[in-house]
Amino acid sequence: MPDPRPTPIPENLDMTMIPTHVGVVMDGNGRWATRQGLPRTEGHGAGEKALVDTTYGALAIGVKALTVYAFSTENWRRPIDEVRYLMNFNRGLLERRQHELHEVGVRITFSGRRDWRVPRGVLKRMDEAAALTKDNTALVLNIAFNYGGRAEIVDAVRRLVEDRVPASKVDEKAIRQRLYHPELPDPDLVVRTSGEYRTSNFLLWEMAYSELVFSDVLWPDFRREDLYDAIAEYQRRDRRFGGVET
Ligand code: IPE
Ligand code: IPE
Ligand code: MG
């Protein structure tokens, strides 16, 4: 399906400096719902529109990868009904959206642990969406689901041990190769919504030199214009990677 809401590229964006990979901590669904007197879960449902619009918006300006934080390894601590809702919601989201995303060239991938807590039906949909879209090249939509940055590093270390890598050969490259998606470049920009100023265990390794932008918008209200504002802010930053101006 073509973009249902094509928007002109805003004039304040420098099209020669579009970030290749953007990470998004989609936060504030519960507060959005509570403010309207709705149950928290309604906020998660309303976040679908934000995710789809942000994805189309990223596609329109040539972002190549978007990693979105959908469920953290800590989110299992939430009430069982909310966890159950989130599992069903994410399965349904894939069912509802995988075909239109496929048509516009989005490749869907996942980062996270496939442990026993994730219902089999959800894993099945994840595999299906990944297989359907595996040859697409316009944009990678990488969904961080049952994802934790520490868990990702632990999993990489486990693989180092399984691969019998000697201590003298353990370096950043050896670890990076064993992360969930070594083929993706590190995110240039990470955006967190809802006015919280923390990373909450998102992309710990990959974020070492990402620019961080915090938005007060609650996730269900987030649209591509908010992504463009965050990218405009990113473009004003001076990335030095530990070096000095020459
Ligand atoms: C983000 O919204 C979605 C998930 C963490 C799954 P929240 O549910 O954390 O919303 P707030 O932060 O409580 O408002
Ligand atoms: C981070 O949000 C996880 C996701 C957006 C999926 P949380 O709402 O879980 O983070 P905290 O608890 O505020 O740190
Ligand atoms: Mg939250």
Encode pLDDT of 77-97 as tens digits. 999 999 999 999 999 999 999
Any ligand 2 atom below 6 A from CB of 198 = yes
* Atom 12 in ligand 1: residue holding the nearest Cα: 28
The CA 29 to ligand 2 mean position distance, Å, reads 10
Query: Catalytic: which of 12, 14, 53, 75?
Result: 75
The CA 46 to ligand 1 mean position distance, Å, reads 12
Average pLDDT over residues 209-220: 98
CATH 3.40.50.1000 fits 21-150+186-236, yes or no: no
Any ligand 2 atom below 6 A from CB of 213 = no
**Over 80: is that where the pLDDT of 73 sits?**
yes
Give the pLDDT confidence score for residue 2 in this predicted structure. Answer: 87
Is 0.75 surpassed by the pTM of this model? Answer: yes
Any ligand 2 atom below 6 A from CB of 151 = no
Pocket probe for ligand 1: among 26, 27, 85, 122, the residue whose CB has the most ligand atoms within 8 Å is 27
In this predicted model, what pLDDT tens digit does every residue of 145-195 receive, in sequence order?
A: 999 999 999 999 999 999 999 999 999 999 999 999 999 999 999 999 999
Give the pLDDT confidence score for residue 1 in this predicted structure. Answer: 81
* Atom 8 in ligand 2: residue holding the nearest Cα: 27
Give the pLDDT confidence score for residue 60 in this predicted structure. Answer: 97
Per DSSP, the residues of the chain read ---SS--PPPTT--TTS--SEEEEE---HHHHHHHTT--HHHHHHHHHHHHHHHHHHHHHHT--EEEEEEEETTGGGS-HHHHHHHHHHHHHHHHHHHHHHHHTTEEEEEES---TTS-HHHHHHHHHHHHHTTT--SEEEEEEEEE-HHHHHHHHHHHHHHTT--GGG--HHHHHTTSS-TTSPPPSEEEE-TT----TTSSTTTTTT-EEEE--S-GGG--HHHHHHHHHHHHTS---TT----
> pLDDT band at 245, cuts 50/70/90?
confident
**Over 90: is that where the pLDDT of 7 sits?**
no
Query: For this structure, is 146 an active site residue?
Result: no
Average pLDDT over residues 72-76: 98
> pLDDT band at 75, cuts 50/70/90?
very high
In this predicted model, what pLDDT tens digit does every residue of 92-129 receive, in sequence order?
A: 999 999 999 999 999 999 999 999 999 999 999 999 99
Ligand nearest to the CA of 222: 1
In this predicted model, what pLDDT tens digit does every residue of 187-198 receive, in sequence order?
A: 999 999 999 999
In this predicted model, what pLDDT tens digit does every residue of 17-71 receive, in sequence order?
A: 999 999 999 999 999 999 999 999 999 999 999 999 999 999 999 999 999 999 9
Domain regions of the chain by residue span: 21-150+186-236
List, as ranges, residues with CB under 5 A of the ion ligand 3. 27
Ligand nearest to the CA of 83: 1
Query: For this structure, is 90 an active site residue?
Result: no
Any ligand 1 atom below 6 A from CB of 42 = no
